[in-house]
Amino acid sequence: MDNIREQYLVKKKPFYQPQHDEVELYEAAYAARLPVMIKGPTGCGKSRFIEYMAWKLGKPLISVACNEDMTASDLVGRYLLDAEGTRWLDGPLTMAARIGAICYLDEIVEARQDTTVVIHPLTDHRRSLPLDKKGELVEAHPDFQLVISYNPGYQSLMKDLKQSTKQRFAAFEFDYPDPDVETEIVANETGVDRDVAARLVKIGIAARNLKGHGLDEGISTRLLVYAATLIRQGISPRAACRMALVRPITDDADIRDTLDHAIDAAFEA
Amino acid sequence: MAEGITPAELSKQLGRTFPEVQAVFDDLAASAIARLPEDGVRAWLEGGKFLGSLGRGAEPMLVFFEESPEVAAILGVEAIDLLQKTAYAISRTPNGRAMVPFLQTAAVAARRLESMEMFEAYLKLVLHVMQESTTSVHGIVATHPSPCFEDFLKSVPTLLANLSLAGLSNWVEFGLRGYANDPEGQANYFALQAPEAHQVMARERHGTLLVDRERALGLYLRAMWRQDMRLAPFMRWFDEIRSRKPFFDKGTAHLPDVLDDMVCASGRVAGMDIYRAMLAHLAAHRRWTRPMIADNYSPFQRVAIEVFEDARVDLLACREWPGLRGLYLALHPRPEEEAAPADACDVHHRLAMFSRAVLDPDHGYRDAVLLEFVARFHELFDKAGDSQAFARLAVEWYVKSRKPSDISTTLFLDDTDVPFRDDNRLMWIFIEPDEEDEQAASSSELEHEQPALPPIHYDEWDARAGHYRPDWVCLYEHLHPSGDASGIDALLAKHGPLLKRLQRLIDMLKPQNKVRIRFQEEGSELDLDVAIRSLVDYRAGSQPDMRINMSHRTDGRSIAVSLLLDLSVSLNEKPAGAERTILELSREAVSLLGWAVQQTGDPLAIGGFHSNSRHEVRYYHLKGWSEDWNDAVKARIAAMQGAYSTRMGAAMRHAGRALASQQAEKKLLLVLTDGRPHDVDVKDEQYLIRDAHKAVQELDAEGIYTFCINLDPQADEYVSDIFGSHYTVIDHVERLPEKLPELFLRLTK
């Protein structure tokens, strides 16, 4: 048991730049073991925050990236067949409940709605997980906490959480950091100088202004970090930005031209 | 060139002539001798003599003597002969007076076209315009002068400045075709008075068109300046001495309709980048400029304040987006120091130098006042001075740099136009109370007069010319007036047996297609393929896939239908052998169809149209997408009336536009008509048929299936030209009410 727990601990301190008081709020929520939901656009630091908190609290972290083919047994566990017969294998959620980990379900709306209801008993006063196929009721470890994240940005009618799921969580709303903080993040994460980082952030903000006008999502902090990484390697800023910031996010020629122009305006030749 | 000849000799050869010519002949001859070789001078003299002998006075001869040497100097001596022959051809028609404008513009045309070959083509085009626009009796004898030929010749310099010869030819064709039956409109068009003339010109000309890039520019504003402005084009290249500048008014940025790439010292600046620079400047004004009261300053002070403010916001914009500086500097003129003559007023020039110096650290100017103020400008800029502070600095500059020549009436304006800057109307507040009151009064009057919805414009396809006529048709939307809904219910009751039959058909249409959902852990059936694969995996010792079941779901029916009714006057006729008018039959048919579609649950819109020339196509809403089959809808259908003509293309485009925005897998546009497309202002029968066909193609490209139900016994002549094979002709109009719903159900099965 202990070596499993060991394996999921976050060993190295992840870099995380607090934006407001989210660290204290999370600590308070964890102290009460409240399930937490994190909303925010893609690449704004949701996963990084959880990783950082797990490190800070010294708890193991089990992350699951959800997808639409995922079934309840992918979370809970299933019987496997082997030479002697059948053998039960815990899914990540069960494992987290047993060892007292923070279980992080990333992009939960991607999973089918019938899948998401299995988390319900773990998120209220019961704090237990029935394994009906195995006939076992797993009592959650006192350290166990459930965290989910989702991105309201590309919300479609089909992809939304049920009210009954939503109302089991305390929620954080993340957004892209303020320009100064974001500059700090890009500079710290990659080592480019502050001026370059500030210009990258400016391009990012320009793209975010286009959200809903042909872009589903603006340029994320993650992409800015990519661009800065390329610049660190000696690529010219204009080429790096085109490659890391513009080409990935759009196929629309007008938007591409506009963002290319923004790059030229931010980095004079 | 032809040194052997003297003016006196030529004068002798010319012999007796008009006194007006006599008076200036020696000068003209001297100039011709200087520019032409000997055979050229002879041809020149002969040509002039000939034109003088045509009995149209001295003017043609005089203009010929003046202009032809220049044409010949550009194109060669043969051009003189050609010019004379063309002028002669013109003189033999009722358009003889046009000889003079023709000769007057020949030199301009020659300069633009540069080659003999092109010039010949141009002359052909000129004669073509004359022939096509001159009225003739029985197609043989031309009797009345062309309404537009002279105007056309006068417009030639403007046209050729903007269009290639091919473009000019298209422009001319449009005018000849589009206004074939409208001499007054044609004259306006060729005199460049009609808006269409400019639209077609804009389409044919080179450069970046604002309408093409509107979206990209909107994105630019939003992304980089977080501002929203409507963009509106204005025309500026037409007979204006100083080009109009962009301006901002009531939330709209007015920009030139078309921009050519600019060639400047540092390379080429694309038209699109000039648009961006204009918008950046306007956006910067909106962000940082605080309006001032204009009445407090003298005109020159105002000019100075404007330039200071322009430079300030441009500098702020460059601080925000450093790359803009390169673009601004490429576009900003570089005025030369001491270029202005001593006695001219060069305030604008001095200010242009100042603004250059502010933006460009390597300006290289040496003037002491200028340098002092540039330094003070930057100092104030670093202290984040506002509009007011800079206005004070500008006034001080004006006082310091004033020269005695500033009161001169000659303005020196070389290199002072900064192409991306606006006219600065947004930075002034004018206190002129009287005018304001008047404006307020007149605008409120206008609001009262305006009827409901503004017109929507649609292009129309001109098949003979092979292009669209821009914004050719005006379409007005109305809600159809209501009548008595109970009549429709009575109609439906009458058709009881038919309704029962339809109901059976509809029940069969109800969605029943089953779609398999595979790879289910739990499902209604075992999916054998997957199960076997899993078993193989299991036997092989690897982990089997547990998702071996499958289930089903029924596939939904997703069809949006738009029914378009022809409400033209022919609806009121009774077809041969029928007891009721087509209108009554249509009403029944539409009622039954409405009922049937309601039963299937498909979204349905019903619209009707008729037209009274291209300026008034009326589109009536009978049933909207979100409306149920209720009494309000039935009341409108009961009130259907037939009037006016059938301009089908525009109505189809309009119905298609609403249909395209519906969320459905299949989109069906049903057109119910009783005759061929026709309108009072169109003589060519094929024109509207081809346009309607084009509309069908456009809709097809948008994924809309168009189907026509035609009640015209002669429909076979044209209906397939419009709808291809997507039509049905109902021969027994009496049976329309039962046919229409059946047809719909068959189409959507």
Distance from CA of A210 to the nearest CA of B (A): 6
The reply to whether residue B321 touches residue A259, judged by beta carbons under 8 angstroms, is: no
B276 touches chain A (CB under 8 A): yes
Rounded distance between C-alpha atoms, residue B207 and residue B199, angstroms: 14
The type of residue at B260 is D
Give pLDDT, residue B446.
38
Alpha helix locations (H) across chain A? Answer: 2-8, 22-31, 46-57, 72-76, 92-99, 113-116, 120-123, 163-166, 179-190, 194-208, 221-232, 237-241, 253-266
Distance from CA of B537 to the nearest CA of A (A): 11
Give pLDDT, residue B242.
54
The reply to whether residue B222 touches residue A209, judged by beta carbons under 8 angstroms, is: yes
Q: B109 pairs with which residues across the strands?
A: none
Residue that has been written with the tokens 């002798």 in this structure = B12
Distance from CA of A268 to the nearest CA of B (A): 4
B211 touches chain A (CB under 8 A): no
SS (H, E, C) B370-386: HHHHHHHHHHHHHCCCC
B546 touches chain A (CB under 8 A): yes
Cα-Cα-Cα-Cα dihedral sign, residues A42, A44, A50, A55: positive
The reply to whether residue B224 touches residue A262, judged by beta carbons under 8 angstroms, is: yes
Residues 68-87 of B with CB under 8 A from A: none
Parse chain B into domains and list their residue ranges.
7-204, 208-429, 496-505+558-747, 514-554
The DSSP letter of residue A233 is T
Residue that has been written with the tokens 């002279």 in this structure = B150
Task: Tell me the ipTM for this assembly.
Answer: 0.71
B224 touches chain A (CB under 8 A): yes
Distance from CA of B747 to the nearest CA of A (A): 30
pLDDT above 70 (res B449): no
Q: Confidence class of residue B427 from pLDDT cuts 50, 70 and 90? A: confident
Rounded distance between C-alpha atoms, residue A59 and residue A61, angstroms: 6
Give pLDDT, residue A240.
94
pLDDT, tens digit, 9 for 90 and up, residues B66-96: 888 888 888 888 888 888 888 888 888 888 8
Give pLDDT, residue B749.
66
B538 touches chain A (CB under 8 A): yes
- Name which of A207, A264, A268 is nearest B223 (Cβ-Cβ): A207
Per mean pLDDT, which range of A90-104, A168-182, B664-678 is the poorest?
B664-678
The more confident residue out of B315 and B432 is B315
- Name which of A81, A213, A257 is nearest B538 (Cβ-Cβ): A81
Q: Which residue of A has its CA nearest to B538?
A: A81
pLDDT above 50 (res B582): yes
- Name which of A254, A255, A268 is nearest B323 (Cβ-Cβ): A268
Alpha-carbon dihedral of residues B83, B87, B89, B95, nearest 10 degrees? 150
> Is B496-505+558-747 assigned to CATH 3.40.50.410?
yes
Asked if residue A143 lies in contact with residue A101, where contact means CB atoms within 8 angstroms, the answer is yes
* Spatial CA neighbour of B113 closest among B152, B163, B64, B69: B163
Give pLDDT, residue B239.
45
The reply to whether residue A210 touches residue B224, judged by beta carbons under 8 angstroms, is: no
pLDDT, tens digit, 9 for 90 and up, residues A47-86: 999 999 999 999 999 999 988 778 888 899 888 777 777 7
Give pLDDT, residue B444.
41
B466 touches chain A (CB under 8 A): no
pLDDT above 80 (res B468): yes
Residue B608 DSSP SS3: strand
> How many angstroms separate the first and last alpha carbons of chain A?
59
Residue B248 DSSP SS3: strand
State the pTM of this model: 0.58
- Name which of A73, A78, A254 is nearest B219 (Cβ-Cβ): A254
| A207 contacts in chain B (CB < 8 Å) | 223
Q: Could you tell me the two tokens for B547?
A: 């998702």
- Name which of A80, A206, A268 is nearest B326 (Cβ-Cβ): A268
Name the average pLDDT for chain B. 83
| B538 contacts in chain A (CB < 8 Å) | 81
Rounded distance between C-alpha atoms, residue B559 and residue B568, angstroms: 28
Give pLDDT, residue A99.
93
Give pLDDT, residue A269.
67
Q: Could you tell me the two tokens for B715?
A: 């429909």
| B521 contacts in chain A (CB < 8 Å) | 71, 73
Length of chain B in residues, anyone? 749
Give pLDDT, residue A40.
87
pLDDT, tens digit, 9 for 90 and up, residues B477-526: 888 888 888 888 888 888 888 888 777 777 766 666 677 788 888 888 88
The reply to whether residue A266 touches residue B226, judged by beta carbons under 8 angstroms, is: no
Q: Which residue of A has its CA nearest to B522?
A: A71
B228 touches chain A (CB under 8 A): no
Give pLDDT, residue B236.
58
Q: Confidence class of residue B447 from pLDDT cuts 50, 70 and 90? A: very low
| B276 contacts in chain A (CB < 8 Å) | 261
The reply to whether residue A265 touches residue B521, judged by beta carbons under 8 angstroms, is: no
B749 touches chain A (CB under 8 A): no
Domain formed by A2-173, architecture? 3-Layer(aba) Sandwich (3.40)
pLDDT above 60 (res B579): yes
DSSP assignment of B169-227 equals HHHHHHHHHHTTT-HHHHHHHHTT-SHHHHHHHHHHS-SEEHHHHHHHHHHHIIIII--
- Name which of B219, B226, B324 is nearest A258 (Cβ-Cβ): B219
The DSSP letter of residue B418 is -
| A264 contacts in chain B (CB < 8 Å) | 323
What CA–CA distances, in Å, run from B487 to B229, B403, B637? 51, 87, 10
- The residues near B153 (Cβ < 8 Å, ≥ 6 apart) are B98, B101, B102, B104, B105, B126
* Spatial CA neighbour of B496 closest among B206, B737, B165: B737
| A206 contacts in chain B (CB < 8 Å) | 223-224
- What share of chain B has pLDDT > 70, as a percent? 93
The reply to whether residue A266 touches residue B272, judged by beta carbons under 8 angstroms, is: no
Q: Which residue of A has its CA nearest to B537?
A: A81
The reply to whether residue B323 touches residue A264, judged by beta carbons under 8 angstroms, is: yes
The reply to whether residue A69 touches residue B325, judged by beta carbons under 8 angstroms, is: no
Residue that has been written with the tokens 């089959």 in this structure = B629
Rounded distance between C-alpha atoms, residue B729 and residue B718, angstroms: 11
Q: A129 pairs with which residues across the strands?
A: A138
| B556 contacts in chain A (CB < 8 Å) | none
Residue contacts between A and B (CB atoms, under 8 Å):
61
Per mean pLDDT, which range of A5-19, A24-38, B194-208 is the poorest?
B194-208
Distance from CA of A206 to the nearest CA of B (A): 4
Give pLDDT, residue B364.
85
| B210 contacts in chain A (CB < 8 Å) | none
